[in-house]
Amino acid sequence: MAKIPLRLLFTRALIEVPFVFFAVLMPFFGKGDQVSFGPFNLYEEGLIAAAGILIKGTLGVLTAITLSTSTTAREILRGLEKLKLPTLMVQIASFMLRYINVVNDEMERMKVARESRGFNATGIKHWKVLATAAGALFIRSYERGERVHLAMLSRGYEGVLPHDEPPKLSKEIWFTALSLPILAATILLISLGLSL
């Protein structure tokens, strides 16, 4: 459904590699019954824990990748609103996403201005200059936020952003969306059955 290229999916899934290394080590530690695998004696409890970490981690990473590549930030915020996240938090996140680039550009301009005057932060002695720059950036951002808020109030803003009509979802989309939670629940039930 999301039509994510496999190469993109694979490269983004590499974030899971540290957890895979941790999971590979788990069968060597534990207590209880041991299983021989070639020259190694592995703990059964460690194998089950490693499988759980790998499966849950992979499902979580793949779900996050699918969500982030197939859904815009605005759609995610709309979904959070429908999940009854407090409106104020959704509004703050919405404005943060909208203005983060503006603040980043302002920070970049301040950095260029410092460097054009020969400033190069090399140690603790320069922290005062950097702290002053951070304070100036905060004040500029705060003032810009006040101006934007006043402009929005003058245009009739009442604390709620306008909504678009939600798209109609097909049965295929519902099936795909429910397949991962069903798979996760199945794995959970199997792992609970193994641990009893």
| Domain locations along the chain | 6-70+166-195, 75-154
Instruction: Supply the pLDDT for residue 49.
Output: 85
Q: How would DSSP label each residue in 163-189?
A: -PPPPPPPHHHHHHHHHHHHHHHHHHH
The string of pLDDT tens digits covering residues 132-145 is: 889 999 999 899 98
Instruction: Supply the pLDDT for residue 195.
Output: 58
Share of the chain above pLDDT 70, in %: 95
- What is the C-alpha to C-alpha distance for residues 90 and 85, in angstroms, rounded to an integer? 7
Mean pLDDT of 160-175: 77
Asked if the model's pLDDT at residue 35 lies above 90, the reply is: no
Cα angle 104, 109, 113 (rounded to 5 degrees) comes to 145
Which of 25-29, 147-151, 172-176 reaches the highest mean pLDDT?
147-151
Instruction: Supply the pLDDT for residue 143.
Output: 92
Average pLDDT, the chain: 84
Q: How far apart are the first and last CA of the chain?
A: 37
The string of pLDDT tens digits covering residues 76-131 is: 888 888 898 888 888 888 888 888 888 899 889 988 988 898 887 778 888 888 89
The 8-class DSSP code of residue 87 comes to H
Instruction: Supply the pLDDT for residue 139.
Output: 93
| Confidence label for 147 from pLDDT (cuts 50, 70 and 90) | very high
- What is the C-alpha to C-alpha distance for residues 100 and 106, in angstroms, rounded to an integer? 10
In terms of Cα–Cα distance, which of 48, 86, 34, 96 is closest to 192? Answer: 48
Asked if the model's pLDDT at residue 46 lies above 60, the reply is: yes
Mention every residue, 6+ apart, whose C-beta is less than 8 A from residue 28. 40, 42, 43, 46
Helix (H) or strand (E) holding 190: helix 171-195
Q: Which residue has the higher pLDDT, 193 or 194?
A: 193
Instruction: Supply the pLDDT for residue 180.
Output: 82
